[in-house]
Each structure stands twice: as structure tokens, then as C-alpha cells.
Amino acid sequence: MHVKKKVVKYDTDGVMRKMLITLIEDFQKNHGDPSLYNSLLCIIKQGSVSEIRGALDDLSDGPFKERHQLKTLLKRYRFKNDLFTDSELDEKAEKAFQATQSRLRQLDLSKLDRETELVLKGAAVVCHQILGAYDDEYHRSLCIFGKRASYGVPARLACEAERWQIPLSGSCDQIEWFDAEMRRVETVQNYWLSQLQENPSGSLYHEVDTLNLTLVNKTFKSRRCIVPNTTIGSYMTKGLGDYIQKRLKVNGYDITALQFIHRHLAKRGSVHGFYTTADLSSASDSITDALLARILPPCWMKILRLSRIEKVKLPSGEVEELETFATMGVGYTFPLETLVFLCLLKSIWTLYNPRRSKGVISVYGDDLIYPTSMHDEVVRHFPAIGLCINFDKTYTQGPFRESCGGDYHHGIEVRPFNPEGEGGGISQKRFHAYLFKCINGLKNRWASEELESTLNYLLCQAREVGPLYVVPSDFPDVSGIQSSLPLDPWLKDRGVKTPRSIGHGIFRFSYLGACSDLRKEERHEPYLWLSLRGGLDSAERYTSRACEYIQPLPKHLLNLRQLAKEFEFAREHGPLEWVVVDSKTVRSCVTGRRIPKMESWVTIPTSTYYKRKASTSRFER
């Protein structure tokens, strides 16, 4: 009789609680003060989750960096029996979303005071200078489908071919705009015709007037609202988002570099105090049609309105009329909010600074940096147009500043480690990866001598469930213990798997790699179309692999085994993976040469798992 093997599950709740205990013990040892954080330590050892969270919120003792680490370690982690259940978190998020829509309905931008009117007029001038005239042909050249789920394409099926399967979802305006282009493309029409021949009762498009709101975890006490777009909407808004981003870059605001710039400015602001780092509550949800109409050029407003759907269905089943113009999940939301907030801040600075002296103003999404001298004006005008300052995350006084993942206190980085996670049983490999993430997250923020007990505990836990892999510092946090070579002193005599030198400064090592399940993909036309439109990086191009087979093969590739190694796709490269089938060959109808028979596969995004892999690389010294 076949006996089913029992699957062992590992619980991360105990690890998080023990990690808090060992952190406190390390801090006590570092200061030579056993009474430091003693009351908190007793609560963590014996108290409930609610008591622990309450004690952490009230913590006011100790140096800033240590206190900041302890208070925020559990911020993004949910215990199995935490303060809020799933249904309570869903209800909270839904009510907060409805409250935002209700607040925006009461907003009347026709009744603003004179100075706020001047702020909007100044913002419109700045916005017109940045965006210029809308170019439909250029916009279409930037359009590609989004990579995430859309209406009619669930996350488990999300891939390029699935998005071209009829019927494609879209609003009436989106369909009309999309079809104006696609009806002229013969290859697209032929591809759809072949689908219609298989399903004569099918249709090309599915008209949608209501999107579905979904909720994802943000912190242990809140969830974020996301509204996946229609399939055509994702195509249209991705192009608009890239268009706005390119216009910002031309005018000196490169979104791809702004995170680094913001961290640098936050560090400087924590020293001299001349910069304020501000954050907005429900930032993108607070941008309304009326506000955009006052700032954006009419030609841009027209195309943005065409791409928008005005109703959303909540998880409870209730349909809400949207006052929010651009929700999370729409392709242009992030660059659009960056543009709007930037224009508003520059207008306020110009209005209240008649000498036109230069002031540092930078915006990355809802992360704002501006001169502290204009903070009172920002607090005055932003609420009048529906934008709410999050004062819990806005720093205008004192030695602390935070922006874009950089926390600084008197110029010293104090960014805490706060891993995402959820209590409950997880597999051995996932638990192994989680421990590696904790080790690297703490080691990269603290000296190993400062956290001796904590790192020892995590190393022992990791060694009990699997090998202690050592990987280069540029490998993912979950893949192993990041280290230089020779090994960091704290890793010696710990039973780690030391990388083996293979010459010329290259080392061979094992690591824990994230993988996804695959499914066979025979619908190649969409990937070819994507490549020809320039929607793939050079490493991802479908045709680059195909063309190498069409051309005469070099002599060093005529060996079939070498051929398989050269052309087997790595999982991280591109949407399609090509695998040689059983060492069989077929004769090319183009060159007449015999080439390996291959099958194409596509990853299933929702099926991540971990397994041991091997690689070669250099290590820092």
C-alpha cells in the first residue's frame, strides 16, 4: 500500500518573535545595559500579538536607529492571529476607498481662493511646457500590453499570447481607438480570423464599463486597492505612461534615476534641515478629473479621458462611481501623479518666491521633496484641491528625513529591516529562503558584531532546514548568505558551503533559486509582434533566437550537445523558453540544414517555488 509522505510545514511566527528577542539582547550587550528595553522584552516573551504591537508603538527609549528597527520590524508581517482578520482588513480598505470617493465628491474647484487659483494656473503653465502637444502616432508607437493581470486575463494565465486571444476587453472608447489601428494591420486581422474560424460564434471585442477592485497586503493593518485595467486599456495606458515619462525625462526629471536622487536629498536634508520630505495619503486616488482639467493641456485630457473607465465593482459587490481619475493598476498612474505633484510644487515655489531663486523640488510618485520654507504653503493649498498630506510620514523639522527607501538621521542611514510575510505553515524551501532574506536584510543594515546573537540564531535555523549557501552580494536576498571572499569573519567555522575557485577569479557555487512552473506555448505570433514593435529588451527578443537558426550555423555549434547549451533559454530571459526535444533534429525549410527540434514554453506567474541551483560568478574581495 502506498503511504503518502507527510509534508512538514514551518511557521515563521516563532522566528519573528525570537528575532525581536535576540535583537534586544544584542542591543543590551552592545550598551552594556541589561535593563535597556527590559519591559518590552518581557512583553515579547509572554504577551499576545496585540500587546507586543502596542508596546512597540509606545517604545521611546534607546538610540534612534535601534528604536526605529524595533518599532518597524513587524510592520509588514502578519501573525497568524494578528490584530485584524482578512475580512476586517478587506472591510477597512473598502470603507477607506469609499470615504475617499465621498470626500472627492464634495470637492468644488470652482470655489477656490485667489492664491490657490494662481497655484493651479502656474501649474498649468509648467505642465504645458513639460508635455507639449499630444502626438497620437508617437503614443501608438509606445503601446504594448501590460505584464500583469487584466480584465478577462487572470494572473495565472497572464502572458502575451493570452492578451491577443479574442475577445479583447475594453471600454467603448478604448475599443474604437484600438481598432482604428489594428484594422489596418493585416497580420493581426489574419491572426484573429484564424481564431474566429475555430470559434465562429466568437467576437473580437468584449465591451466593459465597470472594472473590479482587488485588495493586496500593504502592512499588517492595511491593504492597498488596485484596479486591474481592461486588456486594451492596459495597452493604451502603458503607452501613455511611457509617453509622460519620456516628456519628464526631456525636461530633466528622469523617473528611473529619481529614487537615487531622492535618497541623496533626504540624506542632505537630515543634516541641514533645508529640505522637507513629504508623503501624501491616498495620493493617486485623490487626483480628480476636475484637477487634471485645470492643469493638463486639452489635447492630453481628451486622450486620458478616452482611456478611462468611470465605474468600479468593490469586493462586496457594490458598484461605485469613480471620482478618482487614475487608480493603481492603470499604466499611466505613476508618471501622471509624478507630473501633477511636480507642477503644483513648482507653481507654489514660484508664487511665493518672487526673486525666482532656485529651490530644490523633486517628486517621485507620492514622495515629495521641497524647500522647508514653503511647507506652510503646501499644507495650505494641497488640501484645498483634494490632496491630503500624510503628516505621519512628512518630516519638516528635526534630524530625520525619509524618501524612496532611504531613512536618514543626522546624515546616517538608519533604514530598518522589515520583511514581508504571513504567519502559517510554509514549505521547507520557502522557509529556507525566508531565513536567508532575514540574515541578509539585517546584515546589510548592521555590522555583524552588533547582531551576534540574532545572526547566530538565524544561521542555526537555516542550517537545520538546508545547506548554508554563500552567494555574491548582487544575488537575491533569498538565494543564500551574501558575502565577499575570503568569507566574512562571522561566517567562518559555521558549516557554510564555501564557493570553489575554477580559475581567473571565477567561483562555482550553489544557491537557492526561485522558479516558476511552465506550460507549453504554441501561439508564437504575439511574441513575434511584440519583438518587432520593440517591446522586448535585447536579451528577450524572440526573433534573435529564431534568426540564429535561420542563418548558417558556425562550425563550433554543429555539435548537438553544444547547440542545446547555446540555445536553451534561461528562465529570467524573455517570455518564451526554448527547450531541445529529445535530441531530435528537423530539416530547415529555409537553409536546408538540420537543426534541433525545440518546444516553446511560457512561465506561469503565480507558481513560484524554490530549488537548489548552481552558478559561476566573481565575488567581491
What pLDDT sits at residue 3? 53
Residue 200's pLDDT is 87
CA atoms of 337 and 394, how far apart (whole Å): 18
463 burial (CB, 10 Å; 0-12 / 13-18 / 19+) is middle
Query: Of the candidates 440, 445, 492, 434, which has an alpha carbon nearest to the alpha carbon of residue 471?
Result: 440
Cβ atoms of 26 and 50 within 8 Å: the answer is: no
β-strands 500-503, 506-520: how paired? antiparallel
Question: Which domains are delineated in the chain?
Answer: 8-82+419-458 (no CATH), 107-140+215-413 (3.90.1850.10), 517-611 (no CATH)
CB atoms < 10 A from the CB of 351, how many?
18
Res 534: pLDDT: 67
User: Alpha carbon of 225 to those of 75, 328, 503: distances in Å?
Assistant: 18, 7, 51
- At residue 571, the pLDDT reads 33
Residue 577 is predicted with a pLDDT of 81
Which of 577, 580, 534 lies closest to 557, judged by CA?
580
Written as nine digits, the cell of 375 is: 511647507
Query: Does residue 301 contact residue 287 with C-beta atoms inside 8 Å?
Result: no
Residue 461 near residue 15, CB atoms below 8 Å: yes
pLDDT of residue 203: 92
- Please tell me the distance from the alpha carbon of residue 483 to that of residue 498, in angstroms, as a whole number: 10
Gap between the Cα atoms of 282 and 604, Å rounded:
32
Contact yes or no for 539/574 (Cβ under 8 A): yes
For cell 533559454, name the residue.
569
Report strand pairing: 211-212 vs 311-313. Answer: parallel
Of 168, 190, 327, 297, the residue nearest 235 (C-alpha): 168
What's the Rg (C-alpha) of the chain?
28
- The confidence score (pLDDT) of residue 357 equals 66
How many whole angstroms separate alpha carbon 419 and alpha carbon 429?
Answer: 17
What region, left, alpha or beta, does residue 457 occupy, with left being phi > 0 and alpha being psi -120 to 50 degrees?
Answer: alpha
349 in Cβ contact with 248 (< 8 Å): no
How long is the chain? Answer: 621
Kindly report the three-state secondary structure assignment for every residue of 322-363.
CCECCCCCCCCHHHHHHHHHHHHHHHHHHHCCCCCCCCCCEE
- Check residue 581 and give its pLDDT: 77
> d(Cα 147, Cα 160) in Å, to the nearest integer?
8
What pTM was computed for the model?
A: 0.89
pLDDT block averages, 10 residues each, the chain of length 621: 64 94 96 91 93 94 93 95 94 94 94 95 96 95 90 90 94 96 90 91 93 92 93 95 96 93 96 95 93 96 95 92 92 96 96 80 95 95 95 95 95 95 90 96 94 95 94 94 90 88 93 90 85 57 36 39 38 64 76 82 86 92 78
Per-residue confidence (pLDDT) for residue 566, from 0 to 100: 40
